[in-house]
Structure 1
């Protein structure tokens, strides 16, 4: 009889725990990328001007490509879809030659 009561109590506790909504934290990593600031980027800008607008890049050149800065932003909300965005700025002789954005402004 005691085993049955313990089993019922444990089962009821487990079922009650299943109905409690769990809390999930938002996870944000990388550089927050502002659409307005990305829109201000222009070919011919200096590296210093780019750093003033977007801040220090997440990845600033590598041994393979010294002329590329990558700004990466990842956001996983507690509920809903994740967002991954990357803005790459390519330099030629210290000036912006091209900009690649994985997300169109406003989207």
Structure 2
């Protein structure tokens, strides 16, 4: 008798779980990257100026490359497409030498 009651309880729980819409959390990690601030980056800027604009990088140099800062942003909404963006700033002698952005530049309105 106990097995039958346990089975009924398990089946009722599973059926109830299937009928309730599930809520999916938004997952957001890394640096929020502002397009306007990225657009202000210029070659020749100092590391301090870059940090002022974009904040502290997610990955600030490694023992392999100490001349590169990576700003990484990842967002997976509960519903919809995942957004992944990376901005890499390369330095040469303490100044910005190159900027790589995974998001293509937007055309100016006009």
TM range (shorter): 0.7 to 0.9
Partner of 2:29 in structure 1? 29
Residue 19 and residue 92 in structure 1: after superposition, are their counterparts in 2 closer, same or farther (change >3 A)? same
Structure 1's unaligned 5+ residue stretches are: none
Structure 2's unaligned 5+ residue stretches are: none
Residue 5 and residue 59 in structure 1: after superposition, are their counterparts in 2 closer, same or farther (change >3 A)? closer
Measure, in 1, the Cα distance between the counterparts of 2:60 and 2:5: 64
TM-score (structure 2 length as normaliser) = 0.83
Residue 5 and residue 61 in structure 1: after superposition, are their counterparts in 2 closer, same or farther (change >3 A)? closer
Measure, in 2, the Cα distance between the counterparts of 1:47 and 1:102: 21
TM-score (structure 1 length as normaliser) = 0.86
Partner of 1:71 in structure 2? 71
Measure, in 2, the Cα distance between the counterparts of 1:47 and 1:9: 62
User: How many residues were matched structurally?
Assistant: 106
1:16-70 deviations in Å (ceiling 9; x for gaps): 3212110111111110000010000000000000000000000000111110000
1:80-101 deviations in Å (ceiling 9; x for gaps): 1111110000000100000000
